[in-house]
Amino acid sequence: MLEDTAGYYSKKARSWVVTYSTPDFMFKIEDCLKAEMGRDYLLPRTLDHLKKAILQVLLSKYNDQFYSDALELLRNGKMEDISRMYMLNYA
């Protein structure tokens, strides 16, 4: 299940990274996590592994792009977006 979920979100991420700005991409990640964590039929331990797998596939591959975008967001005072990026990276 974890591999299938990671594969699903990997495909989504490839599309989102060219379609959405970094802040909007972060909103998409939040939406995915809310949906997946709302699956009350999974054990808490499984949810933890699922969350880790989703964040790994959605964040790690694009970290360089997000980092350069974060610098621009900082320059423009977009602290809410920076905060969201931070929280997702350390969730």
- Rounded to a whole number of angstroms, the CA Rg of the chain reads 13
The pTM of the full predicted model, rounded to 2 decimals, is 0.83
Which pLDDT score, from 0 to 100, does residue 1 have?
84
Q: What is the pLDDT of residues 11-22, one digit of tens each?
A: 999 999 999 999
**How many CB atoms neighbour CB 78 within 10 A?**
17
Which pLDDT score, from 0 to 100, does residue 82 have?
92
Pick the CATH number of 2-89 from 1.10.246.90, 1.20.1310.10, 3.40.50.2000, 1.10.630.10: 1.20.1310.10
Using DSSP, state whether 38 is helix, strand or coil.
coil
Using DSSP, state whether 21 is helix, strand or coil.
coil
Which pLDDT score, from 0 to 100, does residue 91 have?
72
E strand or H helix that includes residue 78:
none
Tokens of 65: 């792009």
Domain ranges of the chain: 2-89
